Amino acid sequence: MSSNGVVDAVGEELTALLTRLGELADLPTDPVGDGAACIDRIALLERARGALAAAQHTAMVAFGRAQVEAQLDQIATGRLDPEKLGRGIGDQIALAAHVSPHVADRRLTVARALATDLPCTRALLVSGRISEYLAEQIVSLTSHLDPETRRLVDKQAAEAGLDELGRKAAVAAVKKLAYEADPVGFLQRGRTARKDRRVALRPAPDTMAVLSGLLPVEQGVACIAALRQHADSLIATGASGGRSRDQILADTLVERLTGQTRAEDVDVEVGIVLPLDALTDPDSPKTGELVGHGPLPGGIVVELLRRTGGKRWWRRLFAHPVHGGLVGGDPQRRLFDGFLATLITWRDRAWCREAFCGAPIRHLDHITGKRAGGPTSFGNGRGNCVRHNEDKELPGWHHEVLHDGLGDQPHTVQTTTPTGHTYTSRAGPVSSGLPPGSSPRPPRGPRTRRRPPRPRGPGVP
Ligand SMILES: [Zn+2]
């Protein structure tokens, strides 16, 4: 049943299919014995992945179309700024699919391109003869072509027998066809890509992180050459200090970016969750946390504080004894301006609090808006990325504090989307009580349920 009470036959069929697939996952192994049936099943299930992706694409394109039509109505009645046409579509798909809006936008772009300009590629995906990954690559590699040329390349690629090629060979074949179809556009595309240069940081296992830069190729080559040159000269002069070449490369990167003379001397901001036994007992199961980068075993926190020659400061934070969410901080720190903002950022772990998003916080906003009487308080504030901050202003979106985080429940916010679906986002524990060296417990995922949409009509947002 859909959120507006209409029976959706396809939805019911998919639910039954999901149940059946769950049963297949628990079937005993190949009854025939020589494994041939298992291999057949593996091949069929691989094809099913592609067909499932195509079926999801169809739903995404249809949803996008329906939303645009509804938004055109809103523009006609003055309830939506025309410049915001199309906004919120990827965001709703993201919530439904439990992915970030960035991933949802990419999937929607792929779905639309396959539906309009790449029918042969789509047919290969529907029949499970190519993977969703390859379909995405074909969309990307042909994105600079006009629709007519794109359809031509689509046809040529299908005739080239992509489904018989390995992943790399298939991508290379499509790249060649796309280049030959429009060499000037292909080169221009390479120049345009330079505007997308960026640097990113993502967590890695064992309290490590991966710092990456998407750079014009000659600059990337120059960076790694400079690091290698420095490392080789230290090794040649016996000044490596017992470090391996890779270690020197990593240390030099940090030193040159931060201007420090020693890579270890970073200015660390470590949140120490009370009680303070993590500071005094290296075996304590309590954890600290680096803003935005998850929990660190207490022993590592102590080591960091002891080793670094940088500015050393830390902030005591109080966690709820049951759910571990942040509920307050050392009142001494009220001497700092914006302490409340800092506390909310810590509680939300520096990540956007919309369900499944995970982008860095760029705004702190009132969950219940100031105009609606929402207080500027710990409970009514949340950290948002730029995009989810703007979603709040779109018709049909509604946010509500279900728990302020000070009682037995962690801070919980409910988002209602224009279709009437609701999603909840809980603040994760800042104190997870992990033994040193173990992996962090995954945060409890947001739950989704549906309720009937609010009636649409003039004057009803
Ligand atoms: Zn966000």
456 in a domain, yes or no? no
Domains identified in the chain, total number: 3
Quote the CA–CA distance of 56 and 135 in Å, as a whole number: 14
Q: How many whole angstroms from 391 Cα to the centroid of ligand 1?
A: 9
Predicted confidence (pLDDT) at residue 55 exceeds the cutoff of 50 = yes
25 in a domain, yes or no? yes
pLDDT in the model for residue 432: 41
Quote the CA–CA distance of 326 and 343 in Å, as a whole number: 8
Listed in sequence order, the DSSP H helices in 348-429 are 386-391
pLDDT in the model for residue 454: 47
Residues 41 and 164 in one domain: yes
pLDDT in the model for residue 448: 46
pLDDT in the model for residue 373: 81
pLDDT in the model for residue 171: 93
Q: How many whole angstroms from 422 Cα to the centroid of ligand 1?
A: 16
More confident residue, 432 or 308: 308
Q: How many whole angstroms from 154 Cα to the centroid of ligand 1?
A: 35
Predicted confidence (pLDDT) at residue 326 exceeds the cutoff of 90 = no
Collect all residues with Cβ–Cβ distance below 8 Å to 382 and sequence separation of at least 6: 344, 348, 353, 364, 365, 367, 413
Quote the CA–CA distance of 103 and 387 in Å, as a whole number: 13
pLDDT band at 216 (very low <50, low <70, confident <90, very high): confident
* Domain-ending residue, one of 263, 283, 306: 263
Q: What is the CA radius of gyration of the chain?
A: 26
pLDDT band at 391 (very low <50, low <70, confident <90, very high): confident
Predicted confidence (pLDDT) at residue 286 exceeds the cutoff of 90 = no
Classify 213 as helix, strand or coil.
strand
387 in a domain, yes or no? yes
Quote the CA–CA distance of 126 and 48 in Å, as a whole number: 9
pLDDT band at 434 (very low <50, low <70, confident <90, very high): very low
Collect all residues with Cβ–Cβ distance below 8 Å to 289 and sequence separation of at least 6: 270, 271, 273, 295, 296, 346, 349, 430
Phi-psi region of 423 (alpha: psi -120 to 50; beta: other; left: phi over 0): beta
Q: How many whole angstroms from 354 Cα to the centroid of ligand 1?
A: 5
pLDDT in the model for residue 40: 87
Average pLDDT over every residue of 226-237: 92
Nearest to 138 by CA among 167, 105, 180: 167
More confident residue, 376 or 328: 376
Residues 201 and 176 in one domain: no
Residues 250 and 347 in one domain: no
Q: Are strands 198-204 and 208-214 parallel, antiparallel or unpaired?
A: antiparallel
pLDDT in the model for residue 264: 72
pLDDT in the model for residue 428: 76
* Cβ(300)–Cβ(344) below 8 Å: no
* Cβ(114)–Cβ(79) below 8 Å: no
Quote the CA–CA distance of 248 and 239 in Å, as a whole number: 10
Residues 237 and 370 in one domain: no
458 in a domain, yes or no? no
pLDDT band at 226 (very low <50, low <70, confident <90, very high): very high
Average pLDDT over every residue of 301-323: 57
Q: Report the amino acid identity of residue 424.
A: T
pLDDT in the model for residue 36: 80
Average pLDDT over every residue of 43-53: 94
Residues 32 and 166 in one domain: yes
More confident residue, 341 or 68: 68
Render pLDDT for 80-139 as a digit per residue (tens, 0 to 9).
999 999 999 999 999 999 999 999 999 999 999 999 999 999 999 999 999 999 999 999
* Cβ(3)–Cβ(419) below 8 Å: yes
Q: How many whole angstroms from 77 Cα to the centroid of ligand 1?
A: 29
pLDDT in the model for residue 317: 55
Residues 141 and 223 in one domain: no
pLDDT in the model for residue 293: 56
Average pLDDT over every residue of 443-458: 44
Q: How many whole angstroms from 394 Cα to the centroid of ligand 1?
A: 15
Residues 45 and 168 in one domain: yes
Average pLDDT over every residue of 331-359: 72
Quote the CA–CA distance of 96 and 203 in Å, as a whole number: 25
Residues 78 and 219 in one domain: no
Q: What is the extent of the structural domain holding 208?
A: 197-263
Give me 133's structure tokens.
């990954």
Q: How many whole angstroms from 361 Cα to the centroid of ligand 1?
A: 8
pLDDT in the model for residue 413: 95
305 in a domain, yes or no? no
Give me 275's structure tokens.
């009680």
Nearest to 300 by CA among 315, 311, 310, 285: 285
Q: Are strands 312-319 and 268-273 parallel, antiparallel or unpaired?
A: parallel
* Domain-ending residue, one of 228, 263, 298: 263
pLDDT band at 376 (very low <50, low <70, confident <90, very high): confident
Q: How many whole angstroms from 383 Cα to the centroid of ligand 1?
A: 9
pLDDT in the model for residue 319: 56
383 in a domain, yes or no? yes
pTM (two decimals): 0.68
4 in a domain, yes or no? no
Q: How many whole angstroms from 357 Cα to the centroid of ligand 1?
A: 5
Quote the CA–CA distance of 452 and 6 in Å, as a whole number: 11
The count of other CB atoms within 10 Å of the CB of residue 367 is 22
What's the full length of the chain, in residues? Answer: 461
Q: How many whole angstroms from 103 Cα to the centroid of ligand 1?
A: 12
More confident residue, 301 or 110: 110
Residues 446 and 423 in one domain: yes
* Domain-ending residue, one of 194, 216, 248: 194
Residues 389 and 407 in one domain: yes
Residues 171 and 244 in one domain: no
Average pLDDT over every residue of 413-426: 92
Q: How many whole angstroms from 358 Cα to the centroid of ligand 1?
A: 6
The mean predicted confidence, pLDDT, of the chain is: 80
Quote the CA–CA distance of 432 and 323 in Å, as a whole number: 9
Average pLDDT over every residue of 160-188: 90
Residues 102 and 184 in one domain: yes
* Strand ranges, E, within 330-407: 363-366, 381-384, 398-403
Predicted confidence (pLDDT) at residue 141 exceeds the cutoff of 50 = yes
241 in a domain, yes or no? yes
